[in-house]
């Protein structure tokens, strides 16, 4: 079965949706409470056992995992879309940056769309300029370096 170049890949969309829901689950306390509540469940006094258990479970099972999945899907999608023209990809990433700026200014300062769009513009250059083996090595090096911070 042949796919047209404009057809979406359902599995990627489904995984992206799951990752976004996981990130929402993580950020929900940040929307309603003080920023410190995301890092310390006892910020306003003694927390109940259920509060501590919920906070610990969210951090254990979601912290970093959904962001990693989302970042991996972003990079994979960027690679798949790199087959299109550079101008098309750049305009797509600029639109993503504008949405990120508007979202940050009007809704929530923790938005990730703007940083992702800037990284996407940077990575797009390497996708076009480097052979696949060097891209792979550079990708693993960047993952290793990111873990240091």
Which pTM does this prediction carry?
0.76
- Read off the tokens for 117: 């769009």
The pLDDT tens digits for 108-145 are 888 889 999 998 998 888 888 888 899 888 888 887 77
Instruction: Evaluate if residue 29 carries a pLDDT over 60.
Output: yes
Residues 86 and 139 in one domain: yes
Which stretches of 6-112 are DSSP H helices?
10-32, 49-61, 65-81, 86-106
Question: What does the alpha-carbon distance between residue 82 and residue 17 come to, in Å, rounded to a whole number?
Answer: 22
Residues 94 and 122 in one domain: yes
Residues 87 and 143 in one domain: yes
Do the domain assignments include residue 61? yes
Q: What is the pLDDT of residue 149?
A: 61
Do the domain assignments include residue 74? no
Calculate what percentage of the chain has a pLDDT beyond 70.
93
- Of 18, 47, 17, 16, nearest to 33 by C-alpha is 47
Cα distance from N-terminal residue to C-terminal residue, the chain: 44
Domain boundary among 33, 66, 99: 66
Q: What is the pLDDT of residue 6?
A: 59
Do the domain assignments include residue 52? yes
CA-to-CA separations, 94 to 16, 86, 101, 130, in angstroms, rounded? 20, 12, 10, 23
Question: What does the alpha-carbon distance between residue 143 and residue 122 come to, in Å, rounded to a whole number?
Answer: 15
Contacts of 115 (CB under 8 A, 6+ apart): 100
- Of 110, 109, 77, 69, nearest to 93 by C-alpha is 77
Residues 38 and 99 in one domain: no
The pLDDT tens digits for 42-57 are 777 788 888 888 888 8
The pLDDT tens digits for 65-82 are 888 899 889 988 988 888
Question: What does the alpha-carbon distance between residue 18 and residue 11 come to, in Å, rounded to a whole number?
Answer: 11
Our count of domains for the chain comes to: 2
Do the domain assignments include residue 118? yes
Instruction: Evaluate if residue 2 carries a pLDDT over 50.
Output: no
Write out the residue range of the structural domain in which residue 30 sits: 6-66
The whole-number average pLDDT for the span 78-100 is 92
């Amino acid at each position: 079965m042949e796919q047209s170049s404009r057809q979406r890949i359902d599995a990627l969309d489904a995984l992206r949706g799951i990752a976004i829901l996981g990130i929402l689950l993580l950020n929900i306390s940040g929307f309603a409470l003080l920023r410190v509540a995301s890092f310390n469940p006892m910020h306003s006094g003694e927390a109940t056992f259920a509060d501590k258990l919920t906070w610990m479970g969210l951090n254990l099972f979601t912290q970093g995992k959904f962001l990693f999945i989302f970042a991996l899907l972003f990079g994979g999608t960027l690679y798949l879309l790199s087959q299109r023209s550079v101008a098309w990809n750049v305009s797509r990433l600029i639109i993503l940056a504008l949405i990120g700026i508007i979202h940050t200014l009007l809704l929530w300062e923790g938005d990730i769309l703007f940083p992702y769009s800037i990284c996407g513009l940077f990575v797009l250059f390497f996708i076009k300029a480097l052979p696949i083996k060097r891209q792979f090595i550079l990708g693993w090096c960047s993952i290793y370096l990111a873990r240091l911070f």
